[in-house]
Amino acid sequence: MSGVIGIDLGVTRVAVALLRDRERSEPLVRPTERSDTDALVGQITELVDQARTDDVAAVGVGVARVVEFETGRVVAAGRRPGPGGNGAVDLPLANVPLRHVLEERLGLPVFVDNRTSVSALAEAHDEQLEQVARHLVFLGIGAGVGGGLVLGGRIYRGATGGAGELGHTIVGLDLAGAVPAPMRFPQPGSLEFVASGHALDGLAGQARNVHPKSELARLRGEGKPVLGTDVIRAARDGDPSAARMIEIWGQRIGIGVANAINAFDPEEVVIGGYAAGAGDLLVEAARPLSPGSPRRALRRRPDSGPSRRPSRRGTSSRSRAARGRGSRPPCRRRRRRRRARSAGSARARAS
């Protein structure tokens, strides 16, 4: 069976892995080269050359930007990050036809898509590449908050490729007076502003001040920076103040999950990115804020609704799904059902 190469291209790191016979090689991971476009394309080419074998048939790229899928062009961001925002660095790929550029350099078919969209596609399939969810919302939470949509079994990109930007949705805003004008990115009150990894970093700072005997305060006392990753680790180790920070963070994420449920009526909502490291601590905190949609309550038991879970694959879902098809992989179960229906129709006609 031919292999494919998956590339997870983020702002801070790039990972490249070979996928063959449903098995993924150990990824090659490097800090992302952001000096200019040529340097970044050269880095990608070098990593692919290290990972590729003679039977590689195609390359798929998941990139942390809006992508015009039909052409593989990376769309320029609509606005610059403001002071204090969480987007101070960017990929030097604005308006670059990345598919065409990489196909010329690699001599292989290349498919480029948004990295969170391909993560959603991966989560909609199990490890045997069988589709397990036709309607799924993926929330990727790291330095920012991204979203990916699988609707009707296929990635949904919208008119311009920007669908699923759930981090920009407003989850909390003071509307006692006039609606405040957007002043910077991320906009205050948006899901990304209150629930990204940087927001958890802010909560970590509060925890070390309010709870002087906590594990986080101990780290601070040793002169070490206290970040969201420390909060997650301490919470999983049983530190009560860290667990409280995860609870607050999860409640904020839960508002975004509730909005996604009401907007898309999915079978599953999956939380990925580094937030998946918090596991059930995060999911259980988010669950009370995101009950099943009203329409589901009419069709099912009152306690029923879409499942919410951390990502099965963590960050590996991007390289696994970045096969570049932009739609569902072949599903043997679906083909068997179609063949069975056809055979049944033929028998009925014969009788």
Does the pLDDT at position 9 exceed 80?
Answer: yes
The residue ranges of DSSP E strands in the chain, in sequence order, are 3-9, 13-20, 23-24, 28-31, 56-63, 67-68, 73-74, 110-114, 136-141, 145-151, 154-155, 268-273, 307-310
User: Which two three-digit tokens encode residue 71?
Assistant: 């052409």
Predicted pLDDT of residue 298: 33
Does the pLDDT at position 251 exceed 70?
Answer: yes
Q: What is the three-class DSSP state of 328?
A: coil
The answer to whether 308 and 257 are in contact (CB under 8 A) is yes
Q: What is the three-class DSSP state of 17?
A: strand
Predicted pLDDT of residue 223: 79
User: Which two three-digit tokens encode residue 95?
Assistant: 């308006």
The answer to whether 280 and 232 are in contact (CB under 8 A) is no
Q: Which residue has the tokens 């609707």?
A: 151
The answer to whether 62 and 318 are in contact (CB under 8 A) is yes
User: Strands 268-273 and 307-310: what pairing?
Assistant: parallel
The closest alpha carbon to 285, from 275, 294, 297, 295, belongs to: 275
Question: Domains plus CATH for the chain?
Answer: 3-129+314-336 (3.30.420.40), 166-310 (3.30.420.40)
More confident residue, 24 or 310: 24
Neighbours of 156 (CB within 10 A): 15
- What torsion, rounded to 10 degrees, do the Cα atoms 255, 261, 262, 265 define? 180
Q: Of all residues in the chain, what percent carry a pLDDT higher than 90?
A: 49
**Average pLDDT, integer, range 95-120:** 96
Query: pLDDT tens for residues 156-215?
Result: 999 988 999 999 999 988 888 888 787 777 888 999 999 999 999 988 877 656 677 777
The closest alpha carbon to 142, from 335, 320, 315, belongs to: 315
Predicted pLDDT of residue 71: 92
As a whole number of Å, the end-to-end CA separation of the chain is 41
CA–CA separation, 306 and 299 (whole Å): 12
Predicted pLDDT of residue 192: 95
CA–CA separation, 76 and 61 (whole Å): 17
- The secondary structure element, H or E, covering residue 346 is helix 332-350
Query: pLDDT tens for residues 288-314?
Result: 877 654 444 333 333 446 777 778 766
pTM of the model: 0.79
The closest alpha carbon to 256, from 330, 181, 186, belongs to: 186
CA–CA separation, 4 and 110 (whole Å): 10
